[in-house]
Amino acid sequence: MSETYVGDVEIDGPWQERTDGGLLVRKLAVEEMANNVYVVGCTRTNSALLIDVAARPDRLVAALEGLRPVAAVQTHGHWDHVRAWDAIRDEHGIEVWGHPDDDELFPRPIDRSLADGDRLPVGDLEVEVIHLPGHTEGSLLYLVEGEERPHLFSGDTLFPGGPGNTFGSAENHRRIMAGLEEKVFGRLPDETWVYPGHGDDTTLGAERPHLQEWRDRGW
């Protein structure tokens, strides 16, 4: 475990941890795609969500040390984000929740369907579900308020440097940009910390000046 959080984790290395009031965040990276997996926990009750059952179920469960998982929630259904699903669900008894528009991508049925605007209680915390299609039809982001700032878990929808891959679709690029502008940049402050599905973290303030550039480049 790392005591100093910088948001840069090594594949299969130790997780990093931070707190913001009653919010606990742990970040780790697994497997060859350097998938980020997050634990969002309540420091008073020890209730927690696991975000993305990407791979290495033994490491994901280890990152839940001292916590009681409510569920695992998916940002989307691409193969690199779901490889630990069976072990997390069957061996460890943790339900996996996601958006039904990604049902065809998921390796098995979700235990609970999530929708835009859902608010998931995690101890004293409330995690808001944001449905923002473009990378996949069922892509979800998860927002939780800390004492100092909002924390946004963006999956493959938002990275440092731009939106997620829309695989050459101009329409999906338009949709992902419209969703980001309305549901993310249009309502959240610059200090919002962004935790993406791969790579380093960022803030909305660092990315906001580049919105027009992202629109213009079309991908």
Q: What is the pLDDT of residues 193-209, one digit of tens each?
A: 999 999 999 999 999 99
**For residue 92, what pLDDT is reported?**
97
* Neighbouring C-beta atoms of residue 44, cutoff 10 Å: 10
pTM of the model: 0.97
Walk me through the domains of the chain, giving residue ranges and CATH numbers.
Answer: 16-217 (3.60.15.10)
Angle at CA of residue 116, ends 111 and 121, nearest 5°: 60
Q: What is the per-residue pLDDT across 148-197, written as a single tens digit (0 to 9) for each?
A: 999 999 999 999 999 999 999 999 999 999 999 999 999 999 999 999 99
**Average pLDDT in the 28-41 region?**
97
Type and span of the H or E element at 57: helix 57-62
Rg value, the chain, Cα: 16
Would the CA dihedral through 126, 128, 85, 5 be positive or negative? negative
Fill in the DSSP letter of residue 164: P
Q: If you search the block for the tokens 């990093």, which residue do you land on?
A: 16
Of 176, 75, 91, the C-alpha closest to 127 is 75
Backbone angles phi, psi at 99, to 5 degrees: -90, 135
Q: What is the per-residue pLDDT across 56-84, written as a single tens digit (0 to 9) for each?
A: 999 999 999 999 999 999 999 999 999 99
